[in-house]
Amino acid sequence: MTAVSDLTTVRVGRVREIATRLRERRGALLPILHAVQAELGHIDTVDLPVIADVLNLSVAEVHGVVTFYKDFRREPAGRATVRICQAEACQAVGARELADHARQRLGVGFGETTPDGAVSLDEVFCLGNCALGPAVQVGERLHGRVSRARLDVLLGEVSR
């Protein structure tokens, strides 16, 4: 057995444990998907039939939910995650233009990861920092009044 299939076997086993633990919850699919992503970083293609089996759903139903909600990442996250607030207060002070700048600079869109695996770019709707928009979160750290120049510095720090 190869190392990759070993990892897949471990992952699938863990997904089954999580799904089985949460299956009795009302609307169990979403809590299961959130728990899998929180523990394993993303929802992988191999997870779908396992979750479908535990909940007695079709794989298509699980896939539909995973692709409908932007919250679910379908590939491993980058080493750093950059989240740019796109809610109203931040939009009023240039968050859309800041997002355009980030997409151009990184060469990826929201929900995507740079090919070198360094940075995942995400949109978020309010980081609770509305008075200091545009707000950007890099990893666990929140930044306010982020200009393009400041964003370039932040992206430079995590793109190495």
129 belongs to the binding site for ligand FES (CB under 6 A):
yes
Minimum CB distance to ligand FES, residue 30 (Å): 24
Q: How far apart are CA 101 and CA 113, in angstroms?
A: 16
CA distances for 143 relative to 46, 73, 132, 146, 157, angstroms:
36, 23, 8, 7, 14
Q: Is 142 in the site for ligand FES (CB under 6 A)?
A: no
* Strands (DSSP E) found in the chain: 80-85, 112-113, 119-124, 136-138, 141-143
146 forms part of the interface with ligand FES (CB under 6 A): no
What does the per-residue mask of binding to ligand FES show for 56-95, with x meaning CB under 6 A? -----------------------------x-x-xx-----
Query: What's the min distance (Å) between Cβ of 73 and ligand FES?
Result: 21
Does residue 88 contact residue 133 with C-beta atoms inside 8 Å?
no
Q: Which residues are annotated as a binding site for [2Fe-2S] cluster?
A: 85, 90, 126, 130
Q: Which residues are annotated as a binding site?
A: 85, 90, 126, 130
